[in-house]
Amino acid sequence: MTSPSAGYAIVGRIRKAHGIRGECAVEPLTDAPDVLLASGRRVFAGDVHGDLAPGADGRPQPLAVTGARQHQGGLLVTFDAIGDRATAELWRGRYLLVPMDEVEQPAAGEVFLHELPGMAAVFEDGSSAGVIDTWYELPQGILLSVRHNGAEVLVPFAAQVVVGVDRAGRRVTLRPPDGLFA
């Protein structure tokens, strides 16, 4: 996944169609899905890479949320522009974005997931561990893909391993378990 378009944050991803009336199973990618993906809200269509998807007029394509409910750890969401299953199927894998000024900014030591790629990964002593290529969301939590000496090292994004995040300096400080970077 690439970083979303400048000025926008990713808040969800459409996983699949649900039912015949255009309802979509959405994976929330925000700490506030009940606010940002609630009925009456507006989100913008993204593509499968997380970038804004322009509408027919070339401008960002807004989608009005007309309904949302909890379902199996995610949300079932209806949008004004998606009225049937066939249309909903075309949206599979696409991201949903909102303007950055509509989302709460991360607290000190926190980061938006889309900001991680390209950040430097350093050990506690300040030496380089590499660069974060991407991240993966698994049932066990987030894994960072760190490019270290030409190889990929998967690092758990957990408090005992990631001991510091400097958004302004674009740096993540790691305390990896023995052997992880061997």
| 24 pLDDT above the threshold of 70 | yes
Q: Which domains does the chain carry?
A: 8-102 (2.40.30.60), 113-174 (2.30.30.240)
pLDDT of residue 146: 97
Binning the chain into helix, strand and coil, the percentages to the nearest 5 are 10, 45, 45
| 2 pLDDT above the threshold of 60 | no
Segment 129-154, tens digit of pLDDT: 999 999 988 888 899 999 999 999 99
How much is the mean pLDDT over the chain?
A: 91
Amino acid at 134: T
pLDDT of residue 1: 46
pLDDT of residue 79: 96
| 39 pLDDT above the threshold of 50 | yes
Indicate the pTM of the whole model: 0.72
Segment 150-173, tens digit of pLDDT: 999 999 999 999 999 999 999 999
Pair type for strands 120-123 and 171-174: parallel
Segment 106-130, tens digit of pLDDT: 888 888 888 899 999 999 999 999 9
Answer whether 63's CB lies under 8 Å from 79's CB. Answer: yes
- Determine the average pLDDT of the residues in 6-28: 92
